[in-house]
């Protein structure tokens, strides 16, 4: 991740300007957790740990990664009541997942809610490949993205998602809509790694 993005997110966490941090697990994640047996999950860009806590409450073992130290500290505090062997939360750059020793792959589920679409274009292919490597055959990727726009210099269109991920995954479904918190065009994708 770029230093500019890290600085921007760090400042926003420090000033409590984090509208994305709703404290509510999205219904798409609630649904997938109701369908899958508990296993191991990885939350990329886990923020303050809302979805990690939800997964732990549903008997999953979880690992979270975020590059903002303030968010990681809040997540670790939020999860302190759970057994320490049930989770890890790492302050790490998601463009270097292949170097993160804290990850306990292979995973049954990987969650990316608005994380990967913000990495530099030169890292997109590796990011998709790293996720595929971390997932078990038959594992699920739940991906949420915003579209790139005149106001937003990052994002993935549906064409971008298909181009980046379809070589590694079968796209089981996609829902294209507007983000409920910002109104920006966005998409949810459920993908499965072939067995």
Beta-bridged to residue 42, according to DSSP, are 63, 110
pTM listed for this prediction? 0.91
- pLDDT at position 33 is 97
- Predicted confidence (pLDDT) at residue 2 exceeds the cutoff of 70: no
- 94-134 residue pLDDT tens: 999 999 999 999 999 999 999 999 898 899 999 999 999 99
- 18-49 residue pLDDT tens: 777 788 999 999 999 999 999 999 999 999 99
- 61-82 residue pLDDT tens: 999 999 999 999 999 999 999 9
For residue 83, CA distances in Å to 56, 76, 119, 162 come to: 10, 12, 32, 38
- 152-195 residue pLDDT tens: 778 899 999 999 999 999 999 999 887 776 777 889 999 999 99
Residues 140, 192 contacting (CB under 8 angstroms) = yes
Q: What domains are defined for the chain?
A: 3-11+26-192 (3.40.50.150)
Residue 136 CA to residue 146 CA, distance in Å, equals 26
Residue 22 CA to residue 74 CA, distance in Å, equals 14
Residues 87, 58 contacting (CB under 8 angstroms) = no
- Which pLDDT band holds residue 1 (cuts at 50, 70, 90)? low
- Predicted confidence (pLDDT) at residue 8 exceeds the cutoff of 80: no
Residue 83 CA to residue 160 CA, distance in Å, equals 39
């Amino acid at each position: 991740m770029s230093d500019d993005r890290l600085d921007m997110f760090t400042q926003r966490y420090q000033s409590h300007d984090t509208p994305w941090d709703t404290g509510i697990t999205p219904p798409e994640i609630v649904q997938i957790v109701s369908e899958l047996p508990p296993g191991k999950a990885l939350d990329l860009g886990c923020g303050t740990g809302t979805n990690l806590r939800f997964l732990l409450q549903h008997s999953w073992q979880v690992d979270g990664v975020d590059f903002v130290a303030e968010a990681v500290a809040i997540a670790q505090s939020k999860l302190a009541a759970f057994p320490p062997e049930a989770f890890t939360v790492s302050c790490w750059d998601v463009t270097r997942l292949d170097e993160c020793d804290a990850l306990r792959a292979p995973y049954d589920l990987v969650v990316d809610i608005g994380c990967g679409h913000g990495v530099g274009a030169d890292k997109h292919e590796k990011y998709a490949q790293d996720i595929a490597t971390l997932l078990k055959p038959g594992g699920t990727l739940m991906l949420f993205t915003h579209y790139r726009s005149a106001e937003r210099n990052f994002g993935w269109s549906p064409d971008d998602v298909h181009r980046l991920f379809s070589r590694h995954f079968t796209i089981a479904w996609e829902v294209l809509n507007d983000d409920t918190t910002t109104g920006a065009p966005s998409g949810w994708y459920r993908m499965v790694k072939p067995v």
